[in-house]
Structure 1
Amino acid sequence: MSGPQESGVFTALRTQLQGAASEFAGGPDALEGILLGMVDDVDRAVREPLEIFPVCHHSPASALAMARRLREKQPKVVYLELCEDMAPLLTELRNCRLPVAVQAFAGEIDGFPQEWAPLSVVAPITEASAEYQAIAYALDTPGVELVLVDRSSDHVFQWDRANTSEAAETDGSPAEAEEAPKSEEAALHGEAVGVEIGDLRPRFAELEEHLLRHGKVRHWSEWWHQYVEVPLGDSDHDTYRQVMFLIGSLFRRLAPGDGSRVRVDEDRERYMWTRMREHLEATGTDPEDCLYVCGAFHAASRVEEFGVHGRSGAFTISPRTATTWQYGLIPSSHAAIEAQFGLAAGSVSIAATTWQKSLTRTRVRPYRLEGQAGARKSRAKKALPAGSAAQAPATDRLTGFLHQPPVLDSVDEAELLGWSVDIVRAARRNGYLASTADAIAVFETSILLAGMRDRAKPTPYDFQDAAVTCIEKDSVPGRRDVRRLVEIMMGGDRIGQVGYEALPPLARDVYDRLEPLGMKLQQRGVQRALLDIAGRPELEACSDVLWMLRRLMPAAAARPIMGERRLGERSIQESWDLALGTHQRALIELGYEGVSLEQVLEQRLRREAYGPRATTAGVLAAIEDTLLYLRSGRLADELGTHALKVLAAERSVDGAPEVLRRARALLAYYRTSRPELPAWIESFVKTGYAHYCTLLPTAFRDEDATVGQVAAMLGFLFSMESLALSLGCDRTQLELAVAQSHPDDPSKTALLWAAQVQLGTLSRAELRSRCAELLDNPLVVPSYPRYLNGFVHALEPVPGLADVVVEAVSNAFGRLPDAVLLPWLPLLITTLRKGAADLAPLLIREAGRIFPGRLPALDAWIPPWRMPQEDPFAASRAQRTATAPVGAALLAARPATCDAVAELLGCEDGWQQHDAPARPGAPLLSAHPATCDAVAELLGCDGGWAAAGDTAVAGAALTLRHPATAEALEPLLADR
């Protein structure tokens, strides 16, 4: 790159700086090169035929200078450093209330890593910014063309594909912005990458630290306000440009010379100059009639493509990717801008206040878009005359500015006193014990701090420090501290709003469909909506919209207070807290996904169900939401068929509890709302029965599978068993799965016992016996709470065991000594609370049924499991014994019957002699005549019993003739 042409404009300044460098450094060195290079950068930018207007983002001085220059020069073409693909949206700014942000959004990406999705780029715009002055001038002045020349939103991510955080840093978002906590207003931009005009902040950490320390300020925003904003507020156009060129060159030359950030900065400058030369060649516009608005950092560029006569053809602009970008306006706020670009809290609000004061002081008439909220009506502007004012020859204004002593403004006592009174009043409203003495202290301390910092007039930052020192003291009684109160008093966090006409079709459709509510939904804040659906049936459509918004937007945007939506249920009255105006950004971004809420919801449900990480529980949840919000049986059947494939492919039981809960709900819904079950849910039950039977033995042994997950599997198998068996499943598969399960964990062991009880392979008496054995074993007592945890989880698949679980817990409290029980009790409580909180109510209800309801009755109360068990067949057996004939005589009289029974039982011995010794079966047969009658009837014996007196003889004869038969019948009859 060739050096700048020799010019005599800055000869005197070069001579002074060269002498200063030689004196301080002892000879020519790098310092001289930096100082003289800065003058060369300023000289080069000033002599450029296409006038460059350097700005700083959200700087009142830049906005004021821009308004002055536009009215003086009246350019025909304005080149603006902003993403070129955002140009069509700028006309919609007139339908908004600033601050707002222009957004480019891509939900589905092509050409970038999928983990980056969604992509979002925002460019915030405030009224106190130079770019807004240029936009308003160009859009409302006939004959003026506005051309955006910065890289597109697609190139923002193309040029830095390493990671999104570096891309955010590239666009002027320092790392401090990511570390600062975000409030609700600060999060209006979400995770978008910010693009701003005028990134003027030292990238050399030591330089920034040096400036802050010697400037006696806390942060960069305060330094800029004190040493740049105030001096340049009343400067002329040439002085403003040269000072901004000088600052941009200083930060440019002292920035680190390596890294991708420098490469991206230079590529952006090549991109912008290439676009401007292309436009000039295509339109034949004279560069003298143009104005190039860019950040001061880029105005001091040293790339070869710089200027209208720079090198052409060396830089090639890469094509955009196949990603489809959508554009819109979203609300912004001062806090969001500060958080996005790492500015000090309250700095943008102070800049807005300074802007209003500067307009009053200088009487400069700013540009505002016609019809914009808050803008005054202006007269129609005439078309520009041919040949507007040309740029005046450059003169050296830097030398005089650098030699100028600081302006010592006198203290505006009236303004400072008003601030002091207002902050005390605000502090008292927020709970501080502030008084008139505190107002006086704040007033005097502000002047004292300004003097200590070599300032004759206290700045808003001095006043803020003084208020914190004098009022806050050691505690904050309310929600806001004093620093925040000062920010509010200085202008507050002004929040923008996108007008109805500038909203995407989906957002306008939402407001139209909610119009019957009769509410101003675009206003910020929370509003209460009452829906009497029974009295006004037309509000049911509003209810549907609100429930879909509840599903798609943040929870605070639409929060139901009364009413709920479940499968098969509809509310007749609902109450909602709505904050759609506060969450307008989220509503606008929904418009990027579709033209109606139903379309967006269906797309999201499909993505959730067919995504690479979709689970069976997730697909069932999507089906439930489909029935709740869309009432679409077609989509539900499609997703249900897909749920079968997802279930068959799963090899873990992590989602078993959720699958059980949602499968039960869907099955109950279909049984009550349709004449027959859909084919997919029948197939799902069959597939799930076989699937969980296969995984059951592995889950019992798997350490990663929790007892709740295994209990959910058993709950699915037992609760769906009747339907599964009717559809062709085999119960033997479940029995084999339980028989093959051999858990090591105490919780799963107890769960297995409960499953065996449900299957009938373990009796309740044996289960009680095992629980008693656990308490008798001192080595097992410490792990007894884990057994109880398994029993409680067993209430999910086997709810009929609630009485056994209550008995197990009661026995532990009754039998364990205090030395063992007291250390064990906290573990029991925490185990039940953590692992079975939803099953505890069932256990409590069962305990309430068993235990006495009053305390005095507890002393005489005997637990049901300790009371003697009565034989329920004793009475009928005694009656039949007294009246019915004895069965032994019948057996003796009908030997063929006894032979048939013996043959069935596999007894091969013959009849015994009468004089043989008595067999043990005679008393048994005599005691059970009804059993003998039943056997005789089954075998077709028509003969009756012998006389009652011959019962013993007949029974003895029978047992003597068929001893094997009597012995075989004895255990069978003993069970009765």
Structure 2
Amino acid sequence: MSAPDASGPFGALRAQLTNAAGEFGGGDAVADILAGIVDDVDRAVAEELEIFPVCHHSPASAAAMARRLRAKQPKVVYLELCEDLQPLLAELRNCTLPVALQAYASELDGFPAEWGPLSVVAPITEASAEYQVIAYALQTPGVELVCVDHSTDHVFQEKPQDPEPEPDPSAPDDAALHGDAVGVELGDLRPRFAELEAYLLHHGKVRHWSEWWDQYVEQPLVGADHDTYRQVMVLIGSLFRRLTPAGERLRGDETRERYMWTRIRAHRAQSTVDTSDCLYVCGAFHAASRVEQFGVASTAPYEIGPRTRTAWLYGLIPSSHSAIEAQFGLAPGSVSVAAATWAKATSGRGGVRPYRLSGQKAPKAGAKARAAMPGRDGDPVDDRLSGFLSAPSRPGGLDSDELRGWCVDIVRLARRNGYLASTADAIAVFETSVLLAGIRGRQRPTPYDFTDAAVTCIEKDTVPGRRDVATLCGILLGGDRVGRVGYDALPPLARDVYDRLAPLGLDLTARTQKRALLDLDARPDLRPCSDLLWLLRRLLPTDAVRPIMGERTLGERSVQESWDLALGRNQRALIELGYDGVTVEQVLEQRLRRAAWDPTATAATALRAVEDAVLFLDNPRFTAELGARAVTLLAAERTVDGAPEVLRRIRRLRTYYRATAPTLPAWVQEFVTAGYGHYCTLLPVATVDEATTVRQIAAMLGFLFSMESLALSLGCDRTQLELAVAQSHPESPATVALLWAARYQLGILGLDDLRARCDGLLDNPLTVPSFPAYLSGFVQALEPAPGLAPFVVEALSGAFARLPDHVLLPWLPTLITTLRAEAAELVPLLVREAGRTFPGSLRALDTWTPPWSAAPAPAVPEARPGGPVTDLLAAHPAATDAVAAVLGATDPWSTPGPSAPSSGLLDRHPATAQALAALLTR
């Protein structure tokens, strides 16, 4: 790279800055930096290929770009944008800006798996130089646009393999439009030296970088001529570049510059267009590049590495001002202020005639633009920097009409939002804005001065509504505009969704929430819409498709449904579904298969996938495939961590298939037999494993006992379960109680045995403190043995009656939290049983005797002759006495005769008595 000419157009400025560095001190370092900045400007403007430096989302850059394009009319434009995003640019005409170009990859090959999914976005606003370039190239015949920056694959190849930072939870909702995507911006122009930025903010009397940039760069340059704009932007880029600490970020920038210049030279070698008819649009930081590949005349080699085998998908997603601000670290409202500046520049007074793609919003009627400034191609370069740097900042005088309109409008907005604002407040805001601008050394109030004045004069100390005054000022100055991707630019899946939901008669592309009412009996043609909405409910964010009325569970379908639909606000999520498939059914099938075959998948995961397949997909073959996978995963498990979920889901599925199919599917039968043997094998080990919870053991036993009849009918052996219970020797009290319940269910223990064991625990002072743990085990035992509910109520009542307060009171909160967390579905069973057991009124409670402590039944009279029927009645005298009383008999046990109608009744109707006897003795 040749050294700059000391006698060139910038020789005087270079000498002046060098002398100033010597006069104010700082040594050779400061002199080298100042002289080097001028050298960078000289080299950039002297380059054969015209370099146009820009800053991202800058109205001054967009205005200068529009003027230069009309003056130069280049035939080839090289743009700093990911080269593989170029095919998307033509789709911008079908969108409402701002939108973002996106590259997306969910299946990674060559990147760490924990990075997935990968996403790169490049936001486009109308007030940006890149949009002017794109609109010019697409609307002008014979113009070629070439994107020369890294491909999205190379973007991630250059990233350090460190974990990504967590997204800011305080960011506004619209900031999530970009999610955790990596942002690609055209011209990242900000000091990378923290002390320099702090110095500029302090002496500029501003709060943040966006305000400094607007005051000292945007406003002075928005109406500047081409040479002044170009030299100033390269100057700023060079300053920030030379003060950037050496490190990974600077090396990454240099890698991008080598890449772009290599692509440019490769295209120049094949193009027949003269270099003077070409334009290179890049960030001002890159315009001051010092890499050896700089310039079309450079011969320095650079080898571009291959891409990985990752398959990238491309599309357009909605963007917004707040999303751009959040992603690129800009001050809230700065992009809206830029949009307001751009609107003013393109009005009749601003004199800029912008380029717009066909289909985009046209300029306001009556706006007349001045003729573009003539080009200076071939003319010698003049030094415009000296004049610009020596002149004071003159962004223009006070525009009273503009400021007065802002003040009136903000008072009107404030009154609509509950503030007690009046004309006096509008006057106060006007005067305070002028005062703040004067204090901060400005000749005219900026939108930031106006916002501060409005907050001071109107908001005072309270916010009556949802919006504070700062938010209202943002709305006034343009608001948080949100873009929209047009129908023709959507992927096939998104278009298919809109087409299938068309019978609802709603504008689902709007950002407002829509209410859909579906009467599926009156309009059966809406049932496909209902099926699709439930599918979208499964795949999209919660607020995108929200059911208000109706549900979808196994074996149940709603007759009427009501939905809140916000697909317009969640267009990005819908578009990204299109990267995974052509229809939502295909996407769900892929996700269920991926979840079931994931290396960390469990049997519970596969059963969850089976349930979703039954609910949302009419594909028995695929459901059977997932069920077979669940069998394989269950047999391979070595722990019982997922036993509660496995039990819950297989019960639901078994009940569903018994109600809807003539026979159980083969995979369900295999799952039951495999689970029976699996849990029998693991039971002895799990009961002594400290890592296994009582809930998990109860779920194992629940599976074994609830599926026992089906398992035995399929060839399993009950002896295996009996041996597993016999070999289990738990030590924790809760697990011991569970095993007692299991033995009761097997018929090894009776209720009297359980009562005796509980009484023994309460009678022993050493076991009284641990008795609540036994009770917790009995509560969990309702899972495998629901018939123990009366005994559990009895045990709990006995505990409340006999446990000392110092044991009972600390245990009660633990019992409640345990029931809520681990046995919520068992509480209704206990409550129903308690309702049957305890009296229903306080008066009855005074004379109530617990069933388990009632007096012994009276002795049964000696059996009379008459065969088994008489013996049965004699064994149950209460029933016979009640029937005799209804019939008017006074002594039903006397010798048969006229006074003993019960005996005569039995003689006259022997078949009824025999049937009753057979039923009770079975």
Q: In structure 1, which of residues 298, 302, 305 is the aligned counterpart of residue 293 of structure 2? A: 305
Q: Which residue of 2 aligns with 1:108?
A: 107
Residue 243 of structure 1 pairs with residue 227 of structure 2: no
**What CA deviation, in whole Å up to 9, does each residue of 1:183-210 have, x standing for no partner?**
2210001111110101001111111111
The secondary structure found in structure 1 opposite 2:53 is strand
Alignment check: 8 A CA contact 1:97 1:496 kept = yes
- Distance in 2, Cα, partners of 1:603 & 1:206: 51
In structure 1, give the amino acid aligned to 2:154: H
Q: Which residue of 2 aligns with 1:132?
A: 131
- Distance in 2, Cα, partners of 1:844 & 1:756: 25
Q: Which residue of 2 aligns with 1:263?
A: 251
| CA pair 586-179 structure 1, distance change in 2 beyond 3 A | closer
The secondary structure found in structure 2 opposite 1:878 is coil
CA offset at residue 410 of structure 1?
A: 3.5
CA offset at residue 352 of structure 1?
A: 0.5
**What CA deviation, in whole Å up to 9, does each residue of 1:553-606 have, x standing for no partner?**
111111111111122222222111111111001111111111111211111111
**What CA deviation, in whole Å up to 9, does each residue of 1:750-784 have, x standing for no partner?**
22221121111221112122223333444444443
Q: Which residue of 2 aligns with 1:582?
A: 569
Which of the two has higher C-alpha Rg?
A: 1
- Distance in 2, Cα, partners of 1:114 & 1:834: 34
In structure 2, give the amino acid aligned to 1:583: N
- Distance in 1, Cα, partners of 2:733 & 2:517: 52
Q: Which residue of 1 aligns with 2:882?
A: none
Q: In structure 1, which of residues 411, 429, 449 is the aligned counterpart of residue 436 of structure 2? A: 449
Q: Which residue of 1 aligns with 2:456?
A: 469
Q: Which residue of 2 aligns with 1:73?
A: 72
| CA pair 786-415 structure 1, distance change in 2 beyond 3 A | farther
Residue 142 of structure 1 pairs with residue 141 of structure 2: yes
Q: In structure 2, which of residues 627, 631, 637 is the aligned counterpart of residue 644 of structure 1? A: 631
In structure 2, give the amino acid aligned to 1:366: P
The secondary structure found in structure 2 opposite 1:838 is helix
TM-score, normalised via structure 2 length: 0.90
Alignment check: 8 A CA contact 2:167 2:180 kept = no
Q: Which residue of 1 aligns with 2:596?
A: 609
CA offset at residue 482 of structure 1?
A: 2.6
Q: Which residue of 2 aligns with 1:395?
A: 382
Q: In structure 2, which of residues 220, 223, 226 is the aligned counterpart of residue 231 of structure 1? A: 220
Residue 8 of structure 1 pairs with residue 5 of structure 2: no
Q: Which residue of 2 aligns with 1:252?
A: 241
Alignment check: 8 A CA contact 1:100 1:125 kept = yes
Alignment check: 8 A CA contact 1:73 1:391 kept = no
Moved more, 459-468 or 666-675: 459-468
Q: In structure 1, which of residues 282, 303, 308 is the aligned counterpart of residue 270 of structure 2? A: 282
Q: Which residue of 1 aligns with 2:743?
A: 756
- Distance in 2, Cα, partners of 1:817 & 1:164: 55
TM-score, normalised via structure 1 length: 0.85
- Distance in 1, Cα, partners of 2:596 & 2:752: 47
Moved more, 840-849 or 484-493: 484-493
Q: Which residue of 2 aligns with 1:24?
A: 24
Moved more, 179-188 or 423-432: 423-432
Q: Which residue of 2 aligns with 1:201?
A: 190
Alignment check: 8 A CA contact 2:106 2:116 kept = yes
**What CA deviation, in whole Å up to 9, does each residue of 1:801-843 have, x standing for no partner?**
1111111222223334556544443333333333322211111
Q: Which residue of 1 aligns with 2:467?
A: 480
Q: Which residue of 1 aligns with 2:356?
A: 368
In structure 2, give the amino acid aligned to 1:588: I
Figure out how many residues of one structure are paired with residues of the other and give that number. 863
Structure 2: which 5+ runs fail to align?
367-373, 869-873, 876-922
Residue 765 of structure 1 pairs with residue 764 of structure 2: no
Give the % identical residues. Answer: 69
| CA pair 153-391 structure 1, distance change in 2 beyond 3 A | farther
- Distance in 1, Cα, partners of 2:423 & 2:831: 61
- Distance in 1, Cα, partners of 2:156 & 2:257: 17
What RMSD, in angstroms, separates the aligned Cα atoms of the two structures?
A: 2.3
Q: Which residue of 2 aligns with 1:36?
A: 35
- Distance in 2, Cα, partners of 1:719 & 1:831: 23
CA offset at residue 419 of structure 1?
A: 2.7
In structure 1, give the amino acid aligned to 2:177: L
CA offset at residue 84 of structure 1?
A: 0.6
Q: Which residue of 2 aligns with 1:55?
A: 54
Q: In structure 1, which of residues 737, 761, 772 is the aligned counterpart of residue 724 of structure 2? A: 737
Q: Which residue of 1 aligns with 2:908?
A: none
Q: Which residue of 1 aligns with 2:409?
A: 422
Q: Which residue of 2 aligns with 1:807?
A: 794
- Distance in 1, Cα, partners of 2:223 & 2:748: 96
Q: Which residue of 1 aligns with 2:208?
A: 219
- Distance in 2, Cα, partners of 1:319 & 1:48: 30
- Distance in 1, Cα, partners of 2:283 & 2:661: 66
In structure 1, give the amino acid aligned to 2:243: L
| CA pair 784-476 structure 1, distance change in 2 beyond 3 A | farther
- Distance in 2, Cα, partners of 1:2 & 1:73: 27
| CA pair 388-224 structure 1, distance change in 2 beyond 3 A | closer
Moved more, 549-558 or 739-748: 739-748
The secondary structure found in structure 2 opposite 1:831 is helix
In structure 2, give the amino acid aligned to 1:321: T
Q: Which residue of 1 aligns with 2:642?
A: 655
- Distance in 1, Cα, partners of 2:360 & 2:147: 22
Alignment check: 8 A CA contact 2:216 2:393 kept = no
The secondary structure found in structure 2 opposite 1:531 is strand
Residue 599 of structure 1 pairs with residue 586 of structure 2: yes
Q: Which residue of 1 aligns with 2:162?
A: 163
CA offset at residue 445 of structure 1?
A: 3.0
Paired residues for 1:340-355 under 5 Å: 340-355=327-342
Moved more, 426-435 or 457-466: 426-435
- Distance in 1, Cα, partners of 2:287 & 2:271: 24
In structure 2, give the amino acid aligned to 1:272: M
- Distance in 2, Cα, partners of 1:180 & 1:356: 32
- Distance in 1, Cα, partners of 2:726 & 2:429: 82
The secondary structure found in structure 2 opposite 1:78 is strand
Q: Which residue of 2 aligns with 1:87?
A: 86
Alignment check: 8 A CA contact 2:694 2:777 kept = yes
The secondary structure found in structure 2 opposite 1:311 is coil
Residue 184 of structure 1 pairs with residue 183 of structure 2: no
In structure 2, give the amino acid aligned to 1:13: L
CA offset at residue 438 of structure 1?
A: 4.1
Alignment check: 8 A CA contact 1:100 1:332 kept = yes
- Distance in 2, Cα, partners of 1:218 & 1:377: 37
| CA pair 211-487 structure 1, distance change in 2 beyond 3 A | same
- Distance in 2, Cα, partners of 1:812 & 1:482: 62
Alignment check: 8 A CA contact 1:506 1:591 kept = yes
Structure 1: which 5+ runs fail to align?
166-174, 379-386, 885-926, 929-976
The secondary structure found in structure 1 opposite 2:575 is helix
- Distance in 2, Cα, partners of 1:658 & 1:180: 31
In structure 2, give the amino acid aligned to 1:77: V
CA offset at residue 121 of structure 1?
A: 0.8
The secondary structure found in structure 1 opposite 2:847 is coil
**What CA deviation, in whole Å up to 9, does each residue of 1:915-956 have, x standing for no partner?**
xxxxxxxxxxxx99xxxxxxxxxxxxxxxxxxxxxxxxxxxx
Q: In structure 2, which of residues 836, 843, 847 is the aligned counterpart of residue 860 of structure 1? A: 847
Q: Which residue of 2 aligns with 1:691?
A: 678
Residue 499 of structure 1 pairs with residue 486 of structure 2: yes
- Distance in 2, Cα, partners of 1:553 & 1:363: 46
Alignment check: 8 A CA contact 2:219 2:395 kept = no
| CA pair 742-480 structure 1, distance change in 2 beyond 3 A | farther
Residue 846 of structure 1 pairs with residue 816 of structure 2: no
- Distance in 1, Cα, partners of 2:408 & 2:224: 33
In structure 2, give the amino acid aligned to 1:449: L
In structure 1, give the amino acid aligned to 2:776: N
In structure 2, give the amino acid aligned to 1:193: V
In structure 2, give the amino acid aligned to 1:545: L
CA offset at residue 678 of structure 1?
A: 1.6
**What CA deviation, in whole Å up to 9, does each residue of 1:343-391 have, x standing for no partner?**
111111111011111222322111000122556899xxxxxxxx99735
Moved more, 566-575 or 845-854: 566-575
